[in-house]
Amino acid sequence: MDDADLEKLSIKPGSLNPKFNRNTTEYNVTVASDVGKLTISCLTSDSNASYQIVGGDGGRTVDLAEGKTTTIKIDVSAEDGTSKLYIIHAKRLSATDASLSGIKIADGCLVPDFDPDTLNYSCLLPYTASALKVTPTAPDKKNAVKVNGQDPGSEVNLNVGDTAVEIEVTSADGSNKQTYTVNATKKWLGRAVQFADCKDAMKYECPITTSPFYKPCSIKGSEPKHVFSEPIINELTRTSKVDPLDGTPLENEWKVPEGGIEKELSGATVCCLYSYTGCEEKMKYSALGAHIKMCDKRPKIDADPENTDTCKECSRKLYKEEMEWHKSNMCTSKHTSRELKHAIKSHDWEKKLQGSEQSGSVDQLMSKAKELIKKYRSALPKKGQSSRFDEGGSPLDLLHTAAVNLACAIKQKPKQADLHFTLGLVLEETYHAQDMYGLKKDDDDLDDSMAILSLGLSTKSKDSSKEDDIQAICQQRGAGANAPLARQLQAIDEEFKHLLNSGQSQKSDYVQELYLFKSKQATQGGKTSQAASDESNPLGQACLKFMDSLSLEQNSVMYNIHVGRLLLLQDKVEDALTRLQHAVGLKPFLPIARFYLGLALVQQKSGPGARTKEAMTYLNDGVQYLLELTSKQAETVEDSCPCDLHSEDLWRSSSGQLLKGCIELGKLLKITPTSGFLTAADVFHSAAILAGQNLCTLPSRGDTYQSMEWVLLDVHAILLEMLMEKDAGNAPWIAQRCQRLSSLVSCSTIPQSQQVLKLQEQTCQKGVIAQPCNSQALCHLGNSQLAMHENDPTSDLGKKALLDAMLSFRASMENEGKPSIGGDLPAQITEQGWWQEKKKKEEAAATSKTAADKGKGVAPKAAPARGAAAGRGTPTSRGTTRGAPATARGGAAKAAPATRGGAARGRGTTSGASKGAPARGRGGGTTTKPPAGAKSGQPSKTAPAKAVTTPSPEPSKEAAAKPASTKTTPVPANAPLNRMSYLPRLGLARALAKETEDTKESRMLYDDVITMAPKVSLWIYINTDLIFLFLFLHAACFCRRLGLQLGICLGEGRGAGERTVKVNIFAVHSFSRITR
């Protein structure tokens, strides 16, 4: 009697959404554009009930307006007057509508969720995917739909990185079209890939990771085109908006996606990753992921070991071929004198943790700590996210509370090993949270702002206090804040001598400690080693707790491994070796124990020695395991982490020790290639790509970040050496590798040290040897030499570097407008000490070889210089080099257009092209003209610069009197010409300002810089007020004439007695706006 429900409700044409249910009162329906009426059929549950259709003329048929939604109401009334309202929203499509009602993909998920008004989507796919099926749904059957030009539901072949899937929808009447785009991205494989054609390796190599491009993009305006992997260039330009390769400031909309390169790369032929295990198949790069997933030669890292035997003494299974190694060093029955001599004691920092009393039993406290650890993992910020948290809810607060709970549990049960071990993990994680994520406690900021000199107050200062003291000493000694490392050490040494001479022995001892502390930071891994040895640092505290847990349970494999790896960080190799041998003796097949044992063997002062093969085997097993884990992570879309703490995850790729082990393995394989092992090249390239991936994901640029940069520097240097040994005639690739390594040093966050600067200078020297007339390579060399001088300007080495830098800059300027390939080594280079020493060594080697040949009765042959290997275009003493430089397309050579302008980078190693107008090359006091038939340079995008009129620097009289005898390299008829750039002029002006008081040439060079690059920010280093005054007034007048705005910012220079002037020039519409 009171039943007002409908028993049936249907429409024609179409169907209700959701499906009819008497308790559901609201529905939707979409019909095609040619449907003008909707017929509704109803049946009430109670035969005595009635209904009325509201929305039409009262009948069962309702008219629908095209392109609009019509609301149809069905009012049901029961016999007793009870009513119920059903609503249908009927949308009639417009014939001009070109929308979709849905998009389905066979793998992955759309981001964001589908909406007809949202046109752009993305989806992340596993690396193993080679094709993607996309099925769009159109609401009107008359809509024409195409997926990348094909019918809906067809598979789209995927590129290695990004693949744009375009879904074109045409309206029913054909008048409108609309395109939906799904950007499908495959995960980045962190492994080396070998191309079937070595030319492809050079063509598609990322300048930073030395691996194939991933989502390649180029820098707008670069010539030749500078292409990078997109995540890498995003990271390198995160805080510095300049081109990493040449220091050129980036334009607006500077990033250009290179879809063409992506497609070519995906179609290139590559070898299987497991060619070292016997797989000989080759396939397209885009299909590599699908192949390796099914490859029968793929190592089975988690399978039960085969070819094993049992040790009769300890009854443990191990590989047959390792029986002798096991008996000699690891058998737990034979080697029993490995007891850890460590006494557990309560430390001050531990007592402080225990002072915050936490109630509960040991089990309850442990359970609370584990819950806090889980919360910590989810609270960690992603890269680019804000690191501000609610009070008590930051990741460091959660770790601290967990540490308090564990310390209180230890107070109750001091002999329970797992409590000490878990506290050690939490303390180490505190170090990683601060280092990798840049997290700080609130009181740390206050401490930093109120830091004071603590000389004599404490001989056990924290690292931050030591840094504050060092900066105070540098300020007091005139070095200035953020001085080069060599200058800081010099200032500390001066303070030490002063205190020693004045009888303040206690303070001098502390200053000496500061000197040792700072000097160790110049070494690779020095900061981490200090942290692991410092009891006031969470990492050092973690080491103590690991030692406590091991002393309580000495046969625990994991305790031995953790103690061993931290002892390696502290450079206590022999102690670490004992612990790690015991771990492998307990579990001979455990990959992580084997890896760290191999690392300990190669880190011995005398090297692995007779145990080289053993070390190689352990390292190879470990690196192979790491790479297989990397492959598995790329085979799934989810970013799963096996552990809540980084300190617990021993296989995380951001571990500097793991990547260091990769490099050590590569070095051993380079000397002794071994069948069945990874190749040295694969190991090096894999280490580089893993380091590059970590740079892109680490939120903070701390010690871990710098350890990744060190890996990249080491790999680049080794690969350059291998290339020069294997393919000495490939001058273009050698020069390219040299430029990339030099630029990598420039844009890294590693502190300037003698080791780094020497690496950069030697790399630039190799680049000049490969292409002696390349103006850019010569400028790179000059900048590296100038950086060597600025690092230690008062030493003989520093003064010599300054003179060499000026010669290199002059050589760079002299070769502008001339062919960059072939030709003679510039006279300015043959004057430099490093080249002369090289020649002497070559002559001595030739003399020694001649004497040996005479002793054997063999007629001596003319010995070519080693630095001039055939085909490398390197000048030597006589003859002609057999170079085969790549020729440019086209007949006549083109004149060099003006280079792109760019800010001189911190270390002064960049070079590039100015975007000013073409200017004539200068050399030997005359204007260099392009060869007959050459085309003029491209017009500048900026206001045309004046032709530079600075007199060309003249070579020294000594050089004129004694011209170098060098080998002439043939110059191809269509060789590319060196472009004119402001960078060597800027470098020479800086060098001259340091070397002489005569400012005439410096002023003219600065004038050239302003003329050639009017739209860039320049850091100009000067040491006289006269030059500053001239530069400011001259630039102001120049800008007033051209309608430019000039901004001057004063600061402190990098060298002794320098002042820094930041000149920021940019166009404005007003002729009168000149800033003060």
| CATH, residue 125 | 2.60.40
* pLDDT at residue 365, rounded to an integer: 95
pLDDT, greater one: 1061 or 762: 762
β-bridge mates for residue 11, sequence order:
40
Domain's final residue, options 92, 112, 127? 92
Q: What is the CA radius of gyration of the chain?
A: 36
Same domain, 259 and 117: no
Tell me the CA distances in angstroms from 829 to 96, 173, 527, 808, 837, one per residue in order. Answer: 72, 74, 38, 7, 12
Pick the last residue of a domain from 533, 548, 569: 533
How far apart (Å, rounded) are the C-alpha atoms in residues 1057 and 322?
63
| Position 1043 pLDDT exceeds 90 | no
Looking at the fold, whether 123 and 54 belong to one and the same domain comes out as: no
Mark out the alpha helices in 137-241 (DSSP H runs).
198-203, 230-236
Rounded to whole angstroms, how far apart are CA atoms 972 and 1075? 50
Average pLDDT over residues 440-447: 56
Six-digit token string for 106: 């066979």
Average pLDDT of the residues in 666-679: 96
Q: What Å distances lie between residue 984 and 571, 805, 903, 988, 1012, CA to CA?
A: 43, 10, 12, 6, 12
137, 235: one domain:
no
Query: What's the rounded Cα separation, in Å, for the pair 1067 and 1076?
Result: 16
CA-to-CA separations, 88 to 6, 9, 17, 62, 440, in angstroms, rounded: 14, 10, 9, 11, 57
More confident residue, 601 or 970: 601
Phi-psi category of residue 379: left, alpha or beta, with phi > 0 → left and psi -120 to 50 → alpha: alpha
Q: Quick one: 64 and 206 in the same domain?
A: no
Q: Residue 972 falls within a domain, yes or no?
A: yes
Do 120 and 170 belong together in one domain? Answer: yes
978 CB contacts (<8 Å, ≥6 apart)?
Answer: 773, 774, 775, 776, 815, 816, 817, 818, 819, 820, 896, 921
Asked if pLDDT for residue 291 goes beyond 50, the answer is yes
Q: What is the mean pLDDT of residues 169-194?
A: 94
Total domains present in the chain:
5
Q: Which of 764, 743, 763, 760 is nearest to 752 (CA)?
A: 760
Q: Which domain holds residue 204?
A: 198-294
Report the distance separating Cα 340 and Cα 347, nearest Å.
Answer: 19
871 occurs within a structural domain: yes
> Are 220 and 245 found together in one domain?
yes
More confident of the two residues 415 and 1074: 415
More confident residue, 523 or 240: 240
Max Cα-Cα span within the chain: 129
For residue 362, being part of any structural domain is answered with no
Q: Name the nearest CA neighbour of 369 among 319, 409, 314.
A: 409
Q: Is 483 helix (H, G, I), strand (E, B) or coil?
A: coil
Q: Which of 314-328, 413-427, 991-1005 has the lowest mean pLDDT?
A: 991-1005
Domain identity same for 106 and 21: no
For residue 834, tell me if it sits in a domain.
yes
d(CA 726, CA 935): 38
Per DSSP bridges, beta strands 83-92 and 26-31 are parallel
More confident residue, 472 or 205: 205
Which secondary structure element, helix H or strand E, spans residue 377, and what is its range?
helix 362-379
| 60-74, 98-112, 991-1005: least confidently modelled range | 991-1005
| 871 in the same domain as 766 | yes
DSSP state letters, 726-768: H-TT-HHHHHHHHHHHHHHHHH--SPP-HHHHHHHHHHHHHHH
Distance of CA 196 to the CA centre of its chain: 26
Tens of pLDDT, residue by residue over 22-68, are 999 999 998 888 888 999 999 999 888 999 988 766 678 999 998 88
Residue whose C-alpha is closest to residue 685's, from 711, 646, 707: 711
In a domain, 470, yes or no: yes
In the structure, what pLDDT confidence band is assigned to residue 774 with cuts at 50, 70 and 90?
Answer: very high
pLDDT score of 795 more than 50: yes
**CA of 906: how far to CAs of 100, 747, 752, in Å?**
53, 8, 10
142-156 average pLDDT score: 91
- Report the Cα–Cα distance between both ends of the chain, in Å, rounded: 91
Of 241, 268, 294, the last residue of a domain is 294
Strand partners, 165: 182
Residue 239 lies in a domain: yes
Residue 954, pLDDT above cutoff 80: no
Are both 75 and 177 inside the same structural domain?
no
* 966 inside domain: yes
Residues 753, 874 within the same domain: yes
SS3 461: coil
Q: Is residue 636 part of a domain?
A: no
| pLDDT of res. 835 | 92
Q: How deeply is 296 buried, as exposed, middle or buried, from its count of CB atoms within 10 A (0-12, 13-18, 19+)?
A: exposed
Determine the pLDDT at residue 523: 65
Q: How far is CA 955 from the centre of its chain?
A: 41
Q: State the Cα–Cα distance between residues 1076 and 1068, nearest whole angstrom.
A: 16
